[in-house]
């Protein structure tokens, strides 16, 4: 793989394949280096962004993971999985407004999915927007009938002061 990278050092796919190999071998440092180089060559490559973010998460660098996902989205990648991953990363980092932004982006591509409005309601409650959180809770109940606990947990919270 190193030799192939020397032969064509401008191919993001070459760096992605090398990163996959090093990740499989559990050489996270080399995997990160390859994914990062490939991602620098093509900021819209969703696969490279996801893999690099995954390495960052495995090495407890959640902010770096979110930065990579955000950069890919801002550069024009329209893979909904990037927006979903970014929403979850922002949620883990308590970046509630960012969570809402990424969820909106995700829903533009994949509407009415389970769990989206669970995370939306959580972010809205953290932003002290309980009326909007209740709307999201009801949407979650509609979109995720197999898992009523998510909506029931938010409904059980004390009602906002009027």
* Cα 8 from Cα 138, distance rounded (Å): 53
What is the dihedral sign for C-alpha 39, 43, 49, 55?
A: positive
Q: What pLDDT is stored for residue 10 in this prediction?
A: 81
Interatomic CA distance for residues 25 and 70, integer angstroms: 28
pLDDT tens digits, 106-115: 999 999 999 9
Sequence-ordered list of residues with C-beta below 8 angstroms from that of 102, at least 6 positions apart, any chain: 73, 83, 84, 86, 87, 90
Q: How does pLDDT run across 22-32, given as a tens digit for each residue?
A: 999 999 999 99
Q: Please give the model's pTM, rounded to 2 decimal places.
A: 0.88
- pLDDT tens track for 63-95: 999 999 999 999 999 999 999 999 999 999 999
Q: In the structure encoding, which two tokens stand for residue 71, read together?
A: 């950069």
């Amino acid at each position: 793989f190193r030799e192939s990278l020397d032969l064509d050092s401008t191919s993001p796919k070459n760096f992605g394949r090398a990163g996959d190999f090093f990740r499989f071998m559990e050489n996270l440092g080399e995997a990160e280096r390859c994914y990062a180089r490939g991602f620098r060559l093509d900021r819209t490559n969703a696969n490279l962004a996801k893999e690099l973010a995954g390495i960052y998460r495995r090495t407890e660098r959640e902010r770096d993971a979110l930065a990579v996902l955000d950069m890919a989205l801002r550069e024009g990648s329209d893979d909904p999985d990037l927006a979903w991953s970014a929403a979850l990363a922002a949620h883990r980092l308590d970046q509630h407004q960012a969570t809402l932004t990424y969820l909106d982006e995700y829903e533009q591509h994949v509407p009415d999915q389970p769990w989206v409005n669970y995370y939306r309601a959580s972010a809205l409650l953290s932003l002290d927007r309980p009326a909007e959180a209740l709307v999201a809770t009801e949407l979650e109940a509609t979109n995720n009938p197999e898992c009523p606990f998510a909506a029931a947990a938010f409904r059980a919270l004390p009602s906002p002061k009027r």
